[in-house]
Amino acid sequence: MDLNLSGKTAVVTGASKGIGLAVTRTLLAEGANVVAVSRKTTARLDELAGQNLLHFAADLMDPQAPGEAVARAVEVYGGVDVLVNNAGGPPPGVELPRGSFMDATDEDWRLMFEFNLFSAVRAIRAVIPVMLSGGGGSIVNVSSGNAHLPSPINVDYGAAKAGMNNLTKVLSEEYAPQGIRVNTVSPGPVRTEWWTDEGGVADKIAAQAGADRDSVMNAVVPELMKLSTGRMADPQEVADAVVLLASPRSASTTGAEFAVDSGFRKEI
């Protein structure tokens, strides 16, 4: 299916690995120009190098960085049609999961919201005038199932993502009549580096459970999190939903939340 993204320009945050890398790869395959935003590049992002890909090195904890990324996209490609706010998770200096609500200080909360919510707010604030001048566009915010399922081990993260879901609804109401669609994709546990890297979440759970990393991801986590599919999601599966929402083929979809979570959320 042609997603009608050829020649469009997208800004993707957190693009160097995991879900963001998969989104970048998919957009490029659909013929889009991509400004891939991350603190540094990676070998796998470098493999995608070409005239349709620009890496913009930025620390999204810097309040100026989101706007600078959007401005660079306009400078190089002439506009922005798609914004994917994918950057998220623990910011530099913060570790998850926690043991309790009491383990998060005021500074931990501030850093978590800066990275997971305020960076998206700033990127959206910068891109809306650009999209309006270009006749519209699509914004996709990558949230989390934890926005709905409160967890004391990720309390500040879940609160920030709940704020992102609320933001999506507000923006979709205000800007849909002006041609800008805003939607959310909410993953559950995904096999990203946050889980799989040495010392990552899988290793931490393995140490507690007396298991190895592969057993944790293949069996312990699916059982512990009651995943209906019996497995964690692949980043590409999340990327597919993101790119479909970014596409003009989803022209009547706005204010929606798509769960790509292996059946993590059970509520109606």
Which residue stretches of 59-154 are H helix? Answer: 65-77, 106-113, 119-133
Decide: 132 and 180 in contact? Cβ < 8 Å.
yes
- Distance separating alpha carbons of residues 47 and 213, to the nearest angstrom: 28
Catalytic residue among 157, 175, 258, 264: 157
Query: C-alpha angle 122/156/253, rounded to 5°?
Result: 50
User: How many beta carbons lie within 10 A of that of residue 224, not counting itself?
Assistant: 12
Q: Which residues neighbour 216 within 8 Å (Cβ) at sequence distance 6 or greater?
A: 202, 205, 206, 209
Amino acid at position 202, single letter:
A
Decide: 126 and 66 in contact? Cβ < 8 Å.
yes
Omega into 189 within 30° of 0, i.e. cis?
Answer: no
Decide: 149 and 225 in contact? Cβ < 8 Å.
no
Catalytic site includes residue 175? no
- Distance separating alpha carbons of residues 37 and 55, to the nearest angstrom: 6
Tokens at residue 202, please?
A: 């899988």
The maximal CA–CA distance of the chain, rounded, in angstroms, is 56
Catalytic residues: 157
